[in-house]
Amino acid sequence: MSEEAKSYSIIVVPSDHSGTRQFRLSRPMLISGITLLVVLSVVVVTFAATHLGVLKTARRVGQLEEENQRLREDVAMIDELAHELELLSAQRAQILNMLGGEDLDDLADDPGIQSLLLADDDPLGDVERVRQLFADGARRGLAPRTWPADGPVRREYLPEAEGGLDAHPGLTIEVLAGEPVRASGRGRVVESGITNNGQPILVLDHGYGFRTVYAGFARPLVEAGQIIERQQAVAEFDEKGPVGRDRAGRMTGPALYFEIRVDGQSIDPREYLTPRQGRRRGS
């Protein structure tokens, strides 16, 4: 029998031995079957591997989409934070302009600001709190703190009538000969006119609720709406000035009435005015 004519028999024997079956396969047929089986195995393995790769890719795509979404949210938060910082920077520039160029860098040493800068949670809320701290610092910086005249204080602040004395919501300050009245802080003139009793009056708005009132002088040197710098001359007395007597009957020279108001309420000007060195209260 030639090599090509060889055949192979497959005998199937049932378990009950009821009868056997025999299948005869030629060599080419057997080779073809084995080849087909190998090809199918390769196809199945390749399909499984490819499908597994697709599943991994799909899972990775889902993870990337989630990461992309988180990144978009982070970018949106960063954009909002950048916008808040721009507003804060603009506000700081505005404050510096209102202060006439005075710097607020010393506010960075404020413990409240330092604690916020070191914290890393809720950055947008921290920006708001930093803005409030800068605003509070700006309010302190904008407070009128320069004495409008260099003379001694003739009469102190008295919020309510006391001991037979009428209420006196400001300070009465003697004016030295030839001395002008100077602005206690940078601000805008909101009133320059005459009171009901015919006395000239001047009111400056310094921002953040601060206003100063000047009265008793002879003539204002500024007009309503004008921006005034700290220590700028805003009013003047006549060269001799009015002469009168105090409650003790002593002769007195010209004097300026000066008042500080915070949110519409008169306060003791000494709470904000720079203390005079070498002078006791009442001087």
Contact 200, 214 (CB under 8 A): no
Taking alpha carbons only, the member of 226, 220, 201 closest to residue 212 is 201
pTM attached to this predicted model: 0.53
The predicted-structure confidence for 80-122, as pLDDT tens digits, reads as follows 887 777 777 666 666 555 544 444 455 555 555 555 445 545 5
Residue pair 217/256 in contact by the 8 Å Cβ criterion: yes
Q: What is the pLDDT of residue 33?
A: 79
Cβ atoms within 10 Å, residue 260: 27
Q: For residue 233, how far is the Cα from the chain centroid? A: 35
Whole-angstrom CA distances from 223 to 205, 218, 239 are 13, 15, 22
Answer yes or no: are the C-beta atoms of 219 and 236 closer than 8 Å.
yes
Per-residue confidence (pLDDT) for residue 80, from 0 to 100? 80
Pairing mode, strands 233-236 and 265-267: unpaired
Tokens representing 34?
Answer: 């084995």
What is the rounded CA–CA span in Å between residue 170 and residue 155? 8
Nearest to 224 by CA among 242, 246, 241, 201: 201
Mean of all residue pLDDT scores within the chain = 78
Query: What's the CA angle centered on 175, arms 227 and 199, to 5 degrees?
Result: 65
The predicted-structure confidence for 192-238, as pLDDT tens digits, reads as follows 998 888 889 999 999 888 999 999 999 999 999 999 999 999 999 98
